[in-house]
Amino acid sequence: MGLTETFVTFQLGLSRMHHLFALLCLVAVVYKITVLLAKRRAYFRSIEAFPGPKGHWLFGHVLEFKQDGTDLEKIVTWGQEYPYAFPLWFGPFVCFLNIHHPDYVKTILTSTEPKDDFAYRFIESWIGEGLLVSKGQKWFRHRRLLTPGFHYDVLKPYVKLMSDSAKTMLDKWESYANSNESFELFEHVSLMTLDSILKCAFRNVLFNVCLHSLLSHFSGTNTYIKAVYELSDLINLRFRTFPYHNDLIFYLSPHGYRHRKACKVAHSHTAEVIRKRKEVLKEEKQLDRIQAKRNLDFLDILLFARDEKQQGLSDEDLRAEVDTFMFEGHDTTASGISFILYSLACHPEHQKICREEILEALHGKDTMEWEDLSKIPYTTMCIKESLRLYPPVPGISRNTTKPMTFFDGRTLPAGCHVGTSVYGIHRNAAVWENPDVFDPLRFLPENVSKRSPHAFVPFAAGPRNCIGQTFAMNEMKVVIALTLKRYQLIEDPTWKPKIIPRLVLRSLNGIHIKIKPVEM
């Protein structure tokens, strides 16, 4: 009898615990909803001075973006209706003020406001707190330590390595030149820029991967390369899949599992390349002694970087910067080069002028050298015009940590998300005459001087501009010059790119052209 009473008492106690737990969960849910609603009301108050397109009460403007290649044009169209800036809602609780005019861009990009912690947090589990996402004193210290890695003395020897990677890719293209068939550019160019960054920045046995191997199946020692592509795809997927914005939902999903697996591969390879380089350099204590033996690379600079307290980067910080440069150094450049080649294929009259200029600059050489980079001004203008029409990074976002007043008197309070639409600025008809027309002469010095310096921002601007922009421009010049010297680029009118904003600018249906050998 006593046992029965004890069991009943236990059951009643368990039942009460369940009720208590359910009550606590209910209280937590009500509290969370209350907080989110208060946050929503605060957002509405903060953007009341900025009218914009009407959004759905639950989904915001998410349903307006069809992922069909027209989304960026929608941003441009809204920009014509709402000058300077307008709010965009991503669901019921996340709002970005989208800015698309140089005078507004100047205010945000010349400040030291940090990167947005909503948009950039999805990439942090891969690249850590490198220069792309770090903020405050950590960002300032890392920027100062890494700047010597982009000095022209370090960049100069890279030109030959970039030429070697480009020539390997162009050799692979001979079959397309003889077949008169169109082919997709982005994959080829992406593998080439990845090969180039491995040669230039991380000259190491582990990463000494030749392009011939890269163009075959990903396997064996190329697991790192496969992981990089897997992570890029998964982060793009998470950005455009609203439920995956929740960390728990993404973690429990099959895509979350694949993300963690790819991160593990990428991080293990990065840790290994740092370990091996440290082993090679353990007897060397000064950079000038290494430089006497060979050219320095990015990893050398990272390993020997010291601040005023003679403190270097931790292993975690080293890995973050290596992962950041690996991604930023190849994917954005691949997007830029692919769209430049496409633009020149669509405009043979400009392609012809570029080719004549390149042939004169090279004087029969089959490679580019440092001194040749300054001898192709018209080609450089064509590169910039393509970067205007097809910016590799179509948008940038920041958080406001203090109230920000724009030139027209409107103010945004602290705690807001600000999205800079690089694509919207570059296609703004109030800034650029005939903005959809490919016209390299826009970048003649006399024309540039008439515009705001913030009208053209493919590498951002201000204190948080792209530290690797000279590296990227050099690689674009090398690849475009060697390609035009060897092949004539021909548009395939049956393949028009359907451009979409991802981590970098891409095309849903690829970027296709035809080529044929240049008749000398």
Question: Tell me: the pLDDT tens digits for 323-361?
Answer: 888 888 888 999 999 999 999 999 999 999 999 999 999
Contacts of 415 (CB under 8 A, 6+ apart): 42, 46, 399, 400, 401
Q: Could you give the number of structural domains in the chain?
A: 1
Domain membership of residue 32 (yes or no) is no
Cβ contact 128:320 at 8 Å: yes
DSSP states along 349-385: HHHHHHHHHHHHHHTT-SS--GGGGGG-HHHHHHHHH
Is residue 248 in a domain? Answer: yes
What is the rounded distance in angstroms from the CA atom of residue 307 to the CA atom of residue 310? Answer: 5
**Phi, psi at 239, each rounded to 5°:** -60, -40
User: What are the structure tokens assigned to 462, written together?
Assistant: 């201000």
| pLDDT above 90 for 471 | yes
Q: Print the domain residue range for 444.
A: 38-517
3-state secondary structure of 420: strand
Q: Are 410 and 49 in contact (CB under 8 A)?
A: yes
Structural domain includes residue 3: no
Asked whether residue 50 is assigned to any structural domain, the reply reads yes
Tell me the pLDDT tens digit for each residue of 145-196: 899 888 888 899 999 999 999 999 999 999 999 888 999 999 899 889 988 9
Domain assignment present for 414: yes
Using DSSP's 3-state secondary structure scheme, residue 82 falls into coil
**25 occurs within a structural domain:** no
CATH of residue 307's domain is: 1.10.630.10
- What integer pLDDT is reported at residue 288 of this predicted model? 60
| pLDDT, tens only, 216-266 | 433 333 577 678 778 877 887 787 677 787 889 999 999 999 999 999 988
pLDDT value of position 512: 97
Three-class SS of 140-158: HHHHHHHHHHHCHHHHCCH
Is residue 482 pLDDT above 80, yes or no? Answer: yes
Per-residue pLDDT at 519? 83
CA torsion angle for 154, 157, 162, 167 (degrees, to 10)?
180
pLDDT score for 290: 62
pLDDT at 96: 93
What pLDDT, on the 0 to 100 scale, is given for residue 313?
A: 86
The alpha carbon of residue 426 and the mean position of all alpha carbons in its chain are separated, in whole angstroms, by 17
**Inside any domain, residue 30:** no
Q: Is 433 exposed, middle or buried (0-12, 13-18, 19+ CB in 10 A)?
A: exposed
In tens, the pLDDT along 283-301 reads: 665 556 665 556 678 888 8
Average pLDDT over residues 1-25: 65
DSSP string, 489-506: EEE-TT----EEESSSEE
Instruction: Work out the angle at residue 333's Cα, subtended by the Cα atoms of residues 122 and 380, and round it to the nearest 5 degrees.
Output: 145
Q: Averaged over 387-409, what is the pLDDT?
A: 94
46 confidence band (pLDDT: 50, 70, 90):
confident
Residue 466 annotated as binding site: yes
Q: Identify whether 1 is part of a domain.
A: no
Looking at the predicted structure, is the pLDDT value of residue 5 above 70? no
Instruction: Indicate the pLDDT class of residue 215, thresholds 50, 70 and 90.
Output: very low
